[in-house]
């Protein structure tokens, strides 16, 4: 097979990769997207589990780079389900004629920087490519975490992972089903599976907070209102810390009286989903304020769940929002059904998986299907699982062994001309992902264009700026309650991973910073460094 030569290789055909392809191709670069799956969609291709949907309203969880696109597309629900989001991405790909430059069923096996040529050598399952730039649009939650349960291979029933759901319809009718994990994926899927299955066993290690989505058909009046002023609507979101509308409140919970807090929490519980945490400005800054919101949410669980013992087990004990907050459609209500049983893994740990099911505590649960809803090696896993080698053959996995260091979540020292979209050190998972990735795509494309126009061949971050930036990322997190529990924000869900806080908190200051860096000719990065 002949060696292909390109300006840019983009890894991943999700939201980021598609927009990157459109941007860079429009600027005259030769580009290809390399995609492991047999179709586009990224997260929205892989996460097809029942009940999968976005938890940021679709009018915001969508591209804004093209006004005609955002005017033409109509979402059918407030929070769209996975099939509709995938349909949207296919529409975007067709509208901008993207598919012809996407190589499907091609997995990147290795990416090596050739220092002599200043080129990346990319080896995929389909062939080899030499490229000036490599952009990793691999997603923050795309490397599934499969815990090393003893006997997992012995299970003879249907084994599923929510993050790698089959494309064929999975029907649980008349089945006994076990699901391990109670994060967002499980919380979304449990109400749907419970309606189908004969019996559903939920194995919980940590009870989680979840806010009702109050999802429903798109309100035509609201849609028309947003569309009548879409650019301004988007601009307002950029001014919010999380890049999400409806969270820009300045009042403090600790300064309000009990009645005021009750009313406000109730309003946000019933209307805002993730924006529940925006009820007051101090919820993620002050432990006392946070506990007020947490105790409100715990009381809600006790109001919904009829069995007091089950309600207690489902009541989270940690700081609200410190693990990714979940948004559901009937999660706690599902535990009022006779065919749903909750098993507390703290008192009944999983001993092993058997051919028929699993042993937890002293009991064996025989099931037809076993679902692992055990999350992802978040933010870094999709990168470290590829053999990426920079200067002097240094592997990214080794370089990040004691912690992922990146400048602005965009560039990594020793890895010249390699960019990451929503990489560690950027707001990414603590923001509305679609605008955040669009911001990165715009920044990266402009940088590559600027280099072409200014005769620069190589751009690279340095250890010094990365240290400084990641220190700031952690200092900002220290001002909040985000570090007060185990979460995938800080690597604690993966045993062998460095425990460090990865996302930068605060969309407006971050946007200001990267804009300023670009305006000052990519301040902090070095160009054309010799070996």
Judged by beta carbon, residue 411 or residue 424, the one nearer ligand NA7 is 424
For position 440 contacting ligand NA7 by CB under 6 A, the verdict is no
d(CA 214, CA 245): 16
d(CA 493, CA 205): 12
Closest-CB residue for ligand NA7? 183
For position 181 contacting ligand NA7 by CB under 6 A, the verdict is yes
d(CA 103, CA 132): 18
Give the 3-state secondary structure of 101-131. Answer: HEECCCCEEEEEEECCCCEEEEEECCEEEEE
What number of other Cβ atoms are within 10 A of residue 475's Cβ? 10
507 — alpha (psi -120 to 50), left (phi > 0) or beta?
alpha
We find the least distance from the C-beta atom of residue 458 to ligand NA7, in angstroms, to be: 35
Judged by beta carbon, residue 16 or residue 185, the one nearer ligand NA7 is 185
Among the listed residues 183, 273, 435, 491, the single contact to ligand NA7 using CB under 6 A: 183
d(CA 458, CA 120): 11
Per CB under 6 A, contacts with ligand NA7 among 477-496 are 488, 493
For position 497 contacting ligand NA7 by CB under 6 A, the verdict is no
For position 413 contacting ligand NA7 by CB under 6 A, the verdict is no
For position 380 contacting ligand NA7 by CB under 6 A, the verdict is no
Judged by beta carbon, residue 376 or residue 469, the one nearer ligand NA7 is 376
Judged by beta carbon, residue 399 or residue 436, the one nearer ligand NA7 is 436
Q: How far apart are the first and last CA of the chain?
A: 31
d(CA 486, CA 112): 34
d(CA 2, CA 250): 60
For position 205 contacting ligand NA7 by CB under 6 A, the verdict is yes
Among the listed residues 285, 345, 472, 476, the single contact to ligand NA7 using CB under 6 A: 345
Judged by beta carbon, residue 131 or residue 208, the one nearer ligand NA7 is 208
Judged by beta carbon, residue 379 or residue 418, the one nearer ligand NA7 is 379
**Structure-token pair, residue 408:** 């602005």
Judged by beta carbon, residue 176 or residue 186, the one nearer ligand NA7 is 186
We find the least distance from the C-beta atom of residue 322 to ligand NA7, in angstroms, to be: 11
Per the listing, tokens 């990322």 go with 473
476 CB-contact burial (10 Å; exposed 0-12 / middle 13-18 / buried 19+): middle
Query: Which one of the spans 19-27, 277-285, 372-380, 401-409 is the region binding ligand NA7 (CB under 6 A)?
Result: 372-380
d(CA 101, CA 172): 38
We find the least distance from the C-beta atom of residue 67 to ligand NA7, in angstroms, to be: 28
**Structure-token pair, residue 74:** 């109509």
Query: Given the DSSP bridges, would you call strands 340-344 and 459-460 parallel, antiparallel or unpaired?
Result: unpaired
Judged by beta carbon, residue 100 or residue 317, the one nearer ligand NA7 is 317
We find the least distance from the C-beta atom of residue 48 to ligand NA7, in angstroms, to be: 13
d(CA 413, CA 286): 35
d(CA 274, CA 291): 17
We find the least distance from the C-beta atom of residue 492 to ligand NA7, in angstroms, to be: 7
Judged by beta carbon, residue 210 or residue 413, the one nearer ligand NA7 is 210
Note whether 141 and 376 are within 8 A (CB).
yes
Which residue, among 128, 105, 131, 139, has the nearest Cα to 24 in the 3D structure? 131
Instruction: Compose the 311-330 pattern: x for residues touching ligand NA7 by CB under 6 A, - for all others.
Output: -------------x------
We find the least distance from the C-beta atom of residue 183 to ligand NA7, in angstroms, to be: 2
Triad 323, 329, 331: Cα angle to 5°: 65
For position 431 contacting ligand NA7 by CB under 6 A, the verdict is no
For position 374 contacting ligand NA7 by CB under 6 A, the verdict is yes
Number of shown-chain residues binding ligand NA7 (CB under 6 A): 21
Judged by beta carbon, residue 141 or residue 334, the one nearer ligand NA7 is 141
Per CB under 6 A, contacts with ligand NA7 among 121-180 are 141, 147, 162-163, 180
Q: Which residues pair with 53 in a beta bridge?
A: 81
d(CA 414, CA 295): 47
For position 375 contacting ligand NA7 by CB under 6 A, the verdict is yes
Judged by beta carbon, residue 205 or residue 456, the one nearer ligand NA7 is 205
Q: Please give the residue ranges that form the binding site for ligand NA7 (CB under 6 A).
A: 141, 147, 162-163, 180-186, 205-206, 324, 345, 373-376, 488, 493
């Amino acid at each position: 097979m002949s060696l292909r030569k390109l300006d840019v290789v983009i890894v991943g055909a999700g939201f980021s990769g598609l927009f990157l392809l459109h941007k860079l191709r429009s600027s005259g670069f030769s580009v290809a997207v390399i995609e492991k799956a047999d179709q586009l969609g990224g997260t929205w291709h892989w996460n097809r589990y029942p009940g999968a949907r976005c938890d940021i309203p679709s009018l915001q969880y969508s591209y804004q780079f093209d006004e005609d696109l955002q005017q033409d597309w109509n979402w059918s629900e407030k929070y769209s389900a996975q099939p509709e989001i995938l349909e949207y991405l296919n529409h975007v790909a067709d509208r901008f004629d993207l598919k012809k430059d996407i190589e499907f069923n091609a997995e990147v096996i290795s990416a090596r920087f050739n220092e002599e040529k200043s080129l990346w050598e990319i080896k995929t399952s389909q062939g080899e490519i030499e490229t000036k730039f490599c952009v990793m649009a691999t997603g923050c939650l795309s490397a599934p975490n499969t815990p090393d349960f003893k006997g997992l291979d012995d299970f003879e029933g249907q084994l599923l992972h929510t993050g790698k759901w089959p494309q064929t319809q999975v029907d649980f009718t008349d089945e006994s089903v076990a699901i391990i994990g109670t994060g967002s994926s499980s919380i979304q899927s449990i109400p749907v599976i419970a309606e189908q299955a004969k019996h559903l066993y939920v194995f919980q290690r940590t009870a989680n907070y979840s806010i009702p989505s109050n999802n429903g058909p798109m309100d035509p009046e609201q849609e028309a209102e947003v569309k009548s002023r879409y650019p301004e609507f988007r601009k307002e979101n950029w001014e919010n810390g999380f890049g999400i509308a409806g969270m820009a409140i300045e009042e403090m919970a600790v300064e309000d009286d009990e009645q005021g807090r009750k009313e406000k929490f109730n309003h946000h519980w019933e209307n805002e989903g993730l924006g529940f945490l925006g009820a007051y400005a101090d919820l993620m800054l002050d432990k006392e304020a946070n506990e007020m919101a947490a105790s409100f949410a715990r009381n809600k669980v006790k109001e919904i769940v009829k069995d007091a013992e089950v309600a207690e087990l489902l009541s989270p004990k940690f700081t609200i929002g410190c693990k990714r907050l979940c948004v559901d459609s009937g999660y706690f209500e599902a535990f009022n059904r006779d065919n749903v049983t909750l098993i507390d893994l703290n008192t009944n740990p999983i001993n092993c998986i058997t051919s028929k099911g699993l042993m937890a505590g002293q009991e064996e649960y025989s099931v037809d299907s076993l679902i692992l809803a055990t999350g992802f090696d978040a933010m870094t896993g999709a990168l470290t699982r590829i053999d990426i080698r920079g200067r002097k053959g240094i592997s990214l996995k080794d370089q990040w062994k004691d912690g992922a260091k990146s400048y602005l979540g965009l560039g990594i020292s020793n890895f010249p001309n390699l960019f990451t979209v929503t990489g560690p050190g950027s707001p990414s998972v603590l923001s509305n992902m679609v605008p955040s990735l669009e911001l990165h795509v715009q920044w990266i494309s402009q940088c590559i264009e600027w280099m072409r126009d200014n005769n620069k061949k190589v751009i690279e971050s340095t250890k010094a700026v990365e240290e400084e930036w990641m220190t700031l990322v952690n200092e900002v997190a220290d001002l909040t309650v985000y570090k007060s529990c185990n979460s995938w924000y800080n690597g604690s869900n993966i045993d062998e991973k460095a425990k460090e806080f990865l996302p930068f908190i605060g969309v407006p200051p971050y946007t200001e910073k990267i804009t300023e860096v670009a305006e000052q000719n990519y301040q902090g990065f070095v160009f054309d460094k010799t070996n």
